[in-house]
Structure 1
Amino acid sequence: MAAITTAFSAELETFHHDDDDLLTAGLGLDGLRVMAPPAFADAARPTLSELRRRAIWSNWRGIADLVPGGGYGDLYGSTADVPGREFSAFARIDGARQPHRLLVQVPDDFDTGKRCVVVTASSGSRGIYGAIAVAGAWGLPKGCAVAYTDKGAGTDYFDLDAGKGIAADGTVATAGEAALAFAPDAPAGEATARGVAVKHAHSQDNPEADWGLHVRQAAEFALHALDKARPGEAPFTFDNTRIIAVGISNGGGAVLRAAELEGDWLDAVVAGEPNIDAEGGRSLYDYTTEAALLMPCALLDQTLAPLPAAAGSAASLGRCSRLRMAGLVEGDDAAAWVVDAHRRLNASGWSDEALKAGALSSGFDLWRAIAVTYASAYGRYGVGQHPCGFGFAVLNEPFSPRASSDAERATWWADGSGIPPGAGVGIVEMPTAVPDPTFGGLQCLRALWTGEGDAAHRVRAGVAEVRAAPPRAGLPVVVVHGTDDGLVPMAFSSQPYVAMAKAAGRDVRFWQVRNAQHFDAFLGLPDYAARYLPLLPYVYEALDRVEAHLDNGAPLPADAVIETTPRGGSR
């Protein structure tokens, strides 16, 4: 195996014991269940431990179903008190404009006999703790080190008006006075350099193209950290240390991209609900922009009932009208437009199960949020260059941009999801006419996929850079996906990926879980709790089965469609 060549910078080492452990920062399961985030004693100047605790709380809450009675911590999963050390650093992909974050957690009871590392990547565009409920919850109680990467996205926002960003320790710092995780090429004071720069959107690196390399660098940093933490057992190398990769959503796509890389550095991969673009599937940008336009109207079709209240609003009727005016649906009245929007989504591959589960994504305006950020990322656009005129800023009540305060900036690293709106940062655009003020912007975003021109070609070229290849021959890979996933539909992602990999002769195992959708955290909503089950237990089970295979040669799990009963009974 080739020697480690990655250079790390801004390295930090911290110790976490007693009421500040690795897995929950001392909150435990009860503390993670509290609805309000852990408070800062001084809102504008939180301490490092306060920032870390809040970031861990936020990322647990965004990923896991922690509702009492839901089973987490009782039937599956762990929030064990795990003391240990954290090692963090910045690293770069060759040619990248911006660094990305790496973090390694080494438990005090690291199993020196097993010498295991669980490497992971954040789901969505989350910050460095964005997979703690996935990889940390499984690996740390087993005595494994856990290595994380934010894969070039994350919550390191930059205030363009104040010239301030996020330092290595999560605190706010002025550009030039500290090493920042993200400092865009847009000097404060320029006319277009106002508001908030978001790393995933404005790094100009198209980080998704390098997801596999980000995961590999996290594994390299784990070996580096273990040499420091356990010098008596050093050196730690890929030849003498087991590396298992796991991730969900974008993190699942990242570990599958890592599986492509040459060399025997990686021992197994488990990918949950992966956002992966494979031959025969559809790109995230394609189906997201389609859903952003058509789904609000299609969800009014009574054949899709029952749906959450967010799906049936007056705004949805306004969307139907705008679609008809633009020639995107057909029919003589609103009822016909609804049916036609539904028909068009079905014809392009959306199942009714995916549409029902996608209702909250539509109601929360998540499709537009994803499309705005990814259009900029795929096109490698900088601040003020978005081809559809979008930007980000802290907003007044009437949605006009304003400068952020010290207290607002202090929450970004801990509270953000990496894609606005959220953590006080919203989307800025020039609204079009009522009753659907976002329609013009959505048409522009969709045209970057379906249309012509320099901007469309630039965005599609970025999408082409993220196409997946088969995993390395002989590498154990298990893919787990919910059949009702409404954000990353299985038909667009896992199914074509598994088919492509098997056609190439790779031994990829595929679990399809009935009555599971994309967001375990949504199971706190009564409607979703009645209709769905969490996916995380099946991801943990797949990890257990892979571990048994590596430990004693137990057979890998067979392909399966896993029948389940939703919490509310039969559907």
Structure 2
Amino acid sequence: MTTNHPIARAPRPALAAALLSGLVLAATGCAGLAPTGPAPVPDFDRLQVTTHRDGDDLLTAGLGLAGLQSMAPPAFADPAAPTPGELRRRAIWNKWRGIADLSPTGGYGSVYGSVADVPGREFTALARVDGARHPHRVLVQVPDAFDRDRRCVVVTASSGSRGVHGAIAVAGAWGLPKGCAVAYTDKGAGSDYFDLDAGQGVAVDGRIASAADGGLAFAPDAPAGGAGVRGVAVKHAHSGDNPEADWGRHVRQAAQFALHALDEAVPQAAPYTFDNTRVIAVGISNGGGAVLRAAELEGDWLDAVVAGEPSIHTGGTSLYDYATQAALLMPCALLDASLAPLPQPPLAAQSVPQWTARCSSLKAAGLVDGDDTSAQAASALAQLRETGWTDDALRAGALSVGFDLWRAVAVTYASAYGRYGVGAHPCGYGFAALDERMAPRVATAQERAAWWADGSGIPPGAGVGIVDDLMAGPDVNAADPTFPGLMCLRQLATGGSDAALRVRSGIDAMRAAPPREGLPVVVVHGRDDGLIPMALSSAPYVAMAREAGRDVRFWQVGPAQHFDAFLALPDYGARYVPLLPYVYAALDRIEAHLDGTGALPRDAVINATPREAGRPLEASQLAMPR
């Protein structure tokens, strides 16, 4: 059930200054619906409230564990025009499956984690940080069993570039069953794709709408006119805002929105303020980086932070730097015999010929030494080790290579860091629906309709692929067609062109600072992480914070890599343990500390035991710190 239900209560004096300084008024109203009741407060736009009870709960949209485990996504009655409820259910199914290991032997819901039936309401809106051209989504889930006596908000940010429900398996699974409200932000990314051919994008409720009607969550400044296919605009790449520089402010605004939502949802205990409501921030991957950026913001608004496998930059090697290096070198380096046996990536049979071709490309470009593949692989591996990659992280990185994740990340982030709009990517990349020849084509109505629910925020996926103009060049090696584009992306990290300086300026803008003094912070990271290597992210962050005198606790989990969801692959499940149990455990320890019933967790180097093939995970194998 969806109603246009503006939160009418004006900001309380204690919060008004902070709210008005961080947010600006966007256009009022809700697309396609006539407003009812008083006008919304000027801090959030297009507010809507949905009720989720009786088979449509907050945590699993009524799917339960069995529904989340289903290999088939929840269906749309009309694939070209799904309802908001259908879109939400499918989005939640996707977000769970992208984060958690839901395989029958993985232990989710039995050894750790919760898929409890939690009825309640969702409050959704758009918010905007000062100076931003486009809003970010904020969403607050308020359970019917919200604990008024222990009023708490768990605030989170999506991992990767996922949509606003992207951290539901992280924050929602821990906070909602405890009676906490959970506040989410897509941190300026998300799956609000825009079809440049049709002039249509995504409304607040997830449905496709025309840009001419207004009310879209993302409407890019697209080039006017033009014949033929123009493709798809992706918010993370094409907003022109470099959203990563504002991740911390996005998290704080989500927490501010939670206070508004609680005033509306539980007025008997209002007002809700940062003085009388506990706020704990948690996130993983990019969401982990976002909550660490929130930790450095001034003001006593945040009570504790748990950051899992955070993508965080402290001035050393940045994500863009090591991602573009890995995109070029890692396929070749993985052929080195010292890394065998590798976890089996998808399409493993095709990998060796492609990786061998990459060694040849690197040799021709003067980027590796050696006269044969073995020597070239050793040269590539030595360069990655020199950067800070461990052999265990490189082995896990085979998954990122197999899924072409390095290129997907580099394409999107280069555009975001350089604040490039549609059609302006310095290496000529774009996004579009692709035909069987991998050439751009016009998206269908059914593809558009599913973007918000199915998209990850970074193509390829959900029927949207990467368009690489450099692959069409006359000198492209058919065995390694992505190499010219990757070279261009790498030069943005290392070169001296105007475009490179522009991209690196965007990277400098998101350098992290130490957390606020006295704020409890726990960082949890897998030692084998092959996407956000611990040695290049959380380890330097913890060192920087401690050098500044901050008390940051650090759990190093082995063997754990970046993607719990891929532990459903037999070889990965037998090699690695999930990271989510340790994030939940760190939250439990933080909660006990805030309650005065326990101490902050100590630093820990954890040596866990993966489950055997075909056997279920047992709690004792996790070797949870005491």
Which TM bucket (shorter chain)? over 0.9
1:433: Cα distance to partner? 2.7
5+ unaligned residues in a row in structure 1: which ranges?
none
2:410 matches 1:353: no
2:327 matches 1:292: yes
1:313 match: secondary structure: helix
Check conservation: 2:223, 2:422, Cα contact below 8 A: no
Equivalent position amino acid for 2:575 in 1: R
Equivalent residue runs for 1:78-93 within 5 Å = 78-93=114-129
1:470: Cα distance to partner? 0.1
Equivalent residue runs for 1:121-200 within 5 Å = 121-187=157-223, 189-190=225-226, 194-200=230-236
1:393: Cα distance to partner? 0.1
Give every structure 1 segment of 4 or more consecutive aligned residues whose post-TM-superposition deviation is greater than 4 Å. none
Equivalent residue runs for 1:274-293 within 5 Å = 274-279=310-315, 281-293=316-328
2:527 matches 1:483: yes
1:193: Cα distance to partner? 8.1
In structure 1, distance between residues paired with 2:374 and 2:583? 41
Q: Deviation per CA, 1:88-118: give whole Å up to 9, x if none.
A: 0001011111111000000000000000000
Corresponding position of 1:66: 102
2:531 matches 1:492: no
Which of 363, 371, 393 is residue 402 of structure 2 equivalent to? Answer: 363
Equivalent residue runs for 1:384-463 within 5 Å = 384-430=423-469, 431=471, 432-463=476-507
1:531 match: secondary structure: coil
1:398 match: secondary structure: coil
In structure 2, distance between residues paired with 1:159 and 1:188? 13
Give the alignment's TM-score, normalised by structure 1.
Answer: 0.98
Corresponding position of 1:561: 605
Q: Deviation per CA, 1:23-73: give whole Å up to 9, x if none.
A: 000000000000011010100000111000000000000000000021000
In structure 2, distance between residues paired with 1:403 and 1:461? 35
Corresponding position of 2:552: 508
1:187: Cα distance to partner? 4.4
Q: Deviation per CA, 1:132-167: give whole Å up to 9, x if none.
A: 000000000000000000000000000000000000
1:212 match: secondary structure: helix
1:340: Cα distance to partner? 1.0
1:190: Cα distance to partner? 3.3
Corresponding position of 1:383: 422
In structure 2, distance between residues paired with 1:553 and 1:442? 52
Corresponding position of 1:9: 45
2:512 matches 1:465: no
Could you tell which deviates more after superposition, 373-382 or 335-344? 335-344
CA RMSD of aligned residues (A): 1.2
Check conservation: 2:555, 2:604, Cα contact below 8 A: yes
In structure 2, distance between residues paired with 1:168 and 1:193? 26
Corresponding position of 2:8: none
5+ unaligned residues in a row in structure 2: which ranges?
1-13, 24-42, 614-620, 622-626
2:144 matches 1:100: no
2:237 match: secondary structure: helix
Check conservation: 1:260, 1:469, Cα contact below 8 A: yes
Which of 412, 428, 434 is residue 373 of structure 1 equivalent to? Answer: 412
2:177 match: secondary structure: helix
2:574 match: secondary structure: helix
2:253 matches 1:209: no
1:553: Cα distance to partner? 4.8
Check conservation: 2:15, 2:273, Cα contact below 8 A: no
In structure 2, distance between residues paired with 1:96 and 1:176? 21
In structure 1, distance between residues paired with 2:536 and 2:595? 34
Check conservation: 1:161, 1:188, Cα contact below 8 A: no
2:381 matches 1:342: yes
2:184 match: secondary structure: strand
Check conservation: 2:128, 2:134, Cα contact below 8 A: yes
Give the alignment's TM-score, normalised by structure 2.
Answer: 0.90
Corresponding position of 2:31: none
